[in-house]
């Protein structure tokens, strides 16, 4: 069992969200599903038999989706990073995760999906560029990146090589 995992609190659409996420990531699966019973109705207000939690896994990372009601909402303070080998991968994840998402929350490789969950779609090469000891290179890359929504590896590479 994984020592630490993420619990994602949804209102009533945990099943829809989990189906969405496992359809995007090739290495993913749905695990156990629990349901609300009669006990605790005065607190959770969920009809008996309603899905309470769904275990799922994406790329070896375990998650739990909870139908917890409208009390809490996702925000950008927590995001999931997807490290991508190439532009095709960046384009794939960006395209899938932005479907129905918040267009105003797309900046510097960050996006918010249709469930309000924040993601960062990051090319691996960007991490290497930003770790370079040459501050002129890293500043050029950062300047260009800050103007982007979806990250463009060619534009980032061009900025990196200009110094």
pLDDT at 60: 95
Q: Is the pLDDT of residue 163 over 80?
A: no
We report the CATH number of the domain holding residue 142 as: 3.10.180.10
Answer yes or no: are the C-beta atoms of 80 and 147 closer than 8 Å: no
Cα–Cα distance between 116 and 111 in angstroms, integer?
A: 9
pLDDT at 133: 97
pLDDT at 43: 86
Q: Is the pLDDT of residue 21 over 90?
A: yes
pLDDT at 44: 86
- Over residues 1-11, mean pLDDT: 93
Q: Is the pLDDT of residue 37 over 90?
A: yes
Residue 72 included in any domain: no
Residue 74 included in any domain: no
Residue 106 included in any domain: yes
Q: Is the pLDDT of residue 52 over 90?
A: yes
**90-136 tens-digit pLDDT:** 999 999 999 999 999 999 999 999 999 999 999 999 999 999 999 99
Nearest alpha-carbon partner for 145 in 158, 132, 134: 158
Total number of domains constituting the chain: 2
Q: Which of 16, 38, 67 is the last residue of a domain?
A: 67
């Amino acid at each position: 069992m994984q020592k630490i995992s993420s619990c994602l609190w949804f209102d009533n659409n945990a099943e829809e969200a989990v189906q969405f996420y496992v359809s995007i990531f090739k290495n993913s699966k749905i695990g156990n599903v629990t349901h609300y019973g009669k006990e605790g109705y005065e607190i959770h207000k969920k009809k008996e038999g309603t899905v309470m939690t769904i275990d799922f896994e994406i790329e070896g990372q375990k998650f739990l989706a909870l139908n917890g009601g409208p009390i809490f909402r996702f925000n950008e303070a927590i995001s999931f990073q997807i490290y991508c080998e190439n532009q095709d991968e960046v384009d794939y994840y960006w395209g899938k995760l932005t479907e129905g998402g918040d267009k105003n929350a797309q900046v510097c490789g960050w996006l918010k999906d249709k469930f309000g969950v924040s993601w960062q779609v990051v090319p691996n090469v960007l991490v290497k560029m930003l770790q370079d000891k040459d501050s002129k290179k890293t500043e050029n890359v950062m300047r260009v990146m800050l103007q982007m929504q979806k990250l463009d590896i060619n534009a980032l590479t061009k900025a990196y090589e200009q110094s």
